[in-house]
Chain A
Amino acid sequence: MGLFGYIIQNPGRVLEKLYEHIIIFGISWAVAVLIGIVISIMVSRPGVKPRVTDTVVGITSAAQSVPSIAVIAVVFLFTGIGMVPAIIALFLYSLVPIIFNASSAFKTIDPALKEAARGMGMSSRQILWKVEIPLIIPQLFSGIRTAATINIGTTTIASAVGAGGLGELIFIGLRLINTSQIFAGAFPAALLAIFIDILLSRLERRITSEGVLMDIEKHSLAH
């Protein structure tokens, strides 16, 4: 039986697991993107003490090195098995790179730019949407893309707490030493990760200002 044997024989089951996988990843990641951006914006507002921002950046930076399985295990202890605990764990885990990248990017915006904007009569909201967010798009996306890739990979582990998804095929395959079944879980997961990353990189290129790209290029040449 070839590598694709399991997929060819059980297309329905593979699709079902892929579907579960997309649901777990999609929900946990999308909510993390939304909430991650909101938190990053909140901690970077002018009224917030720099110490608060630094703390958030510090915590998220440290949290990036926590193994995903540990997060899942801890959430599992509190919420039991199933899809919901998996989504909660993955949501928490995806938050980290998004908040880390976005809030450190907000911090690096030249204060002179924001003051110029204020001096010309822009409101705080206008400064956020017209100056700050367009400028942090590259770093913001780097966080969002990292979160997506990690999340798709980690979702396979989430099967360990009974969440379903492609991980289930992998774990059962491992127990049965069935290469083709392992492959039926791993291959679609890898494809999904690559596909989502390409999609996001296209989107990023589309919404990044040409001027920001030139600026980045110029700075990287200067250093």
Chain B
Amino acid sequence: MAIELIHAEKTYGSITAVKDLSLTIPDNQITILIGPSGCGKTTTMKMINGLIPKTGGDIMINGVSVDEWDPIQLRRNIGYIIQEIGLFPHYTIFDNIAIVPRLLRWEEKRIKQRVLDLLDLVNLDPGEFTYKFPSQLSGGQRQRVGVARGLASDPDIVLMDEPFGAIDPINREKIQDSFLEIQKEIQKTIVFVTHDIHEAIKLGDNLAILDEGSLVQFDTTYNVVNNPETPLVEDLLGADRAFKGLALLRVKDYMKNDFLSLAKSTASEEALKQMELRQSKFAFIVDGRNRKLQGYVTVKSLKHRSAGSLEQLCKPTEAIQPFATLLDAMTKLFSMGLTTLPVVDDRGILIGVIGMKTILKQIEQMAVLGIEGD
């Protein structure tokens, strides 16, 4: 395991910030440290890269105690992502991302390639952003640069200290989704500090809940949400935790592929025939060549006007991405007044459907689990 805390402790004089904390952070996953303010979550994170020196116990990084690491070398080997305010205002975006590779004395050619790749990874157009300064970017864009900077040297471990806390709610959702997609690709061991339970449930593979410097519960997010072990954890999750539970289920794991899709060139008689055969009231229309979602048609509309191609009858529809949560899907379904939502990948290709029924079934299951014992 990349990070292991063994009875780790931090005291300031007579005040104990973190006491007897033992925690093995699972590799290649996102582990969230969460708890009320003053619970020791930030202290715990900063003890990992030595920004705050521990006063007791031990912390092993890749099997070596932090005491044996040269703190500067240790930090260059651990990604560090904080709020966008941490970008250097006097450096261009390029120079900001290049900081750690330059500290590590990479060749300039390699650094350039890496920076361009990273801008691409965080969805910022290198042509537009490379030579701008942080003050020319929006908060969300700056935060993406912050993520790129933390990943610059391709470290195995990344520490994230409330990175998205200062961003407005709409952009925060977006950057969280992007971040999950990035993590799927890069599979880093991430320790993420937040005080936002929604964010924790959405991003975390595991939750470590701290209170007054001690570990209260540590488990997979699913288990924590369904089995809060103490009243504090229950409070943290809130009364609506059955709904919150939806935020930890991904559309990709619940979507179905029992849908009917027709190429837009299909003749309407043929389409009607197929829909009746499948007893489907509607069908999704895709581009015959690249399978990109175009919209949908209903049996009703086809019967009204049986002549003509499907392309003319096709109505546009909202879609959802596989990494979105069931909570996102439900919100979309409600606001659109639909019963079924198409699922499309990054390129817009139809890969499945998610229905209201599926979601309701999940709520029911969680409610049963959750209410138990109340």
Which residues of A sit under 8 angstroms from B72, Cβ to Cβ?
A: 121-123
A1 at the binding interface (Cβ < 8 Å):
no
Interface size band for A: 20 to 34
Do B134 and A120 have beta carbons less than 8 Å apart? Answer: no
Interface size band for B: 20 to 34
Do A120 and B99 have beta carbons less than 8 Å apart? Answer: yes
Query: Looking across the interface, which residue of chain B has its beta carbon closest to that of A124?
Result: B72
Interface residues of B in 81-104 (CB under 8 A from A): 82-83, 85-92, 99-100, 103
Q: In the bound complex, how far is the Cα of B135 from the Cα of A135, in angstroms?
A: 14
Q: In the bound complex, how far is the Cα of B136 from the Cα of A210, in angstroms?
A: 11
Which residues of B sit under 8 angstroms from A123, Cβ to Cβ?
A: 72
Which residues of B sit under 8 angstroms from A110, Cβ to Cβ?
A: 85
Do A121 and B75 have beta carbons less than 8 Å apart? Answer: yes
Interface residues of A in 88-144 (CB under 8 A from B): 110, 112-113, 115-123, 126, 131, 134-135
Q: In the bound complex, how far is the Cα of B92 from the Cα of A116, in angstroms?
A: 16
A16 at the binding interface (Cβ < 8 Å):
no
Partner of A131, one of B77, B88, B100: B88
Do A211 and B92 have beta carbons less than 8 Å apart? Answer: yes
Q: In the bound complex, how far is the Cα of B102 from the Cα of A122, in angstroms?
A: 10
Q: In the bound complex, how far is the Cα of B198 from the Cα of A44, in angstroms?
A: 40
Interface residues of A in 132-159 (CB under 8 A from B): 134-135
B292 at the binding interface (Cβ < 8 Å):
no
Which residues of A sit under 8 angstroms from B80, Cβ to Cβ?
A: 116, 119-120
Most chain A C-beta atoms within 10 Å of own C-beta, residue among B49, B77, B89: B89
Which residues of A sit under 8 angstroms from B100, Cβ to Cβ?
A: 120-121
Which residues of B sit under 8 angstroms from A120, Cβ to Cβ?
A: 75-76, 80, 99-100, 103, 149
Which residues of B sit under 8 angstroms from A115, Cβ to Cβ?
A: 51, 82, 86
Which residues of A sit under 8 angstroms from B91, Cβ to Cβ?
A: 209, 211
Do A210 and B103 have beta carbons less than 8 Å apart? Answer: no
Q: In the bound complex, how far is the Cα of B159 from the Cα of A121, in angstroms?
A: 13
A194 at the binding interface (Cβ < 8 Å):
no
Q: In the bound complex, how far is the Cα of B82 from the Cα of A123, in angstroms?
A: 19
Which residues of A sit under 8 angstroms from B73, Cβ to Cβ?
A: 121
Which residues of B sit under 8 angstroms from A218, Cβ to Cβ?
A: 135
Which residues of B sit under 8 angstroms from A199, Cβ to Cβ?
A: none
Q: In the bound complex, how far is the Cα of B126 from the Cα of A222, in angstroms?
A: 29
Give min CB distance, B290 to chain A, whole Å: 42
**A112/B83 contact (C-beta < 8 A), A121-B103, A123-B72 known:** yes
Which residues of A sit under 8 angstroms from B75, Cβ to Cβ?
A: 118-121
B254 at the binding interface (Cβ < 8 Å):
no
Do B90 and A134 have beta carbons less than 8 Å apart? Answer: yes
Query: Looking across the interface, which residue of chain A has its beta carbon closest to that of B49?
Result: A119
Do B51 and A118 have beta carbons less than 8 Å apart? Answer: yes
Do A211 and B103 have beta carbons less than 8 Å apart? Answer: no
**A212/B89 contact (C-beta < 8 A), A115-B51, A118-B75, A122-B103 known:** yes
Most chain B C-beta atoms within 10 Å of own C-beta, residue among A119, A134, A212: A119
Which residues of A sit under 8 angstroms from B103, Cβ to Cβ?
A: 120-122, 126
A214 at the binding interface (Cβ < 8 Å):
yes
Do A112 and B82 have beta carbons less than 8 Å apart? Answer: yes
Give min CB distance, A109 to chain B, whole Å: 10
**A211/B51 contact (C-beta < 8 A), A118-B75, A120-B99, A122-B103 known:** no
Do B135 and A113 have beta carbons less than 8 Å apart? Answer: no
Give min CB distance, B364 to chain A, whole Å: 45
Query: Looking across the interface, which residue of chain B has its beta carbon closest to that of A116?
Result: B86
Give min CB distance, B97 to chain A, whole Å: 11
B133 at the binding interface (Cβ < 8 Å):
yes
**A211/B134 contact (C-beta < 8 A), A113-B88, A121-B73 known:** yes
Which residues of B sit under 8 angstroms from A113, Cβ to Cβ?
A: 85-86, 88
Query: Looking across the interface, which residue of chain A has its beta carbon closest to that of B80?
Result: A119
Give min CB distance, A108 to chain B, whole Å: 13
Do A211 and B99 have beta carbons less than 8 Å apart? Answer: no
Partner of B133, one of A118, A121, A131, A211: A211
Extra A-B contacts (5), CB below 8 Å, given A112-B83, A112-B86, A121-B103: A113-B85, A116-B86, A119-B82, A211-B133, A211-B135
A-B contact pairs, 24 of them (CB 8 A): A113-B85, A113-B86, A113-B88, A115-B82, A115-B86, A116-B80, A117-B88, A119-B51, A119-B80, A120-B75, A120-B76, A120-B103, A122-B72, A123-B72, A126-B103, A134-B90, A135-B89, A209-B89, A209-B90, A211-B91, A211-B135, A214-B135, A215-B89, A215-B133
Return the 9 tightest CB-CB contacts between A and B, nearest first.
A121-B76, A116-B86, A211-B133, A209-B90, A121-B75, A119-B80, A215-B89, A214-B135, A134-B90
Give residues in B with beta carbon < 8 Å to A. 49, 51, 72-77, 80, 82-83, 85-92, 99-100, 103, 133-136, 149, 159
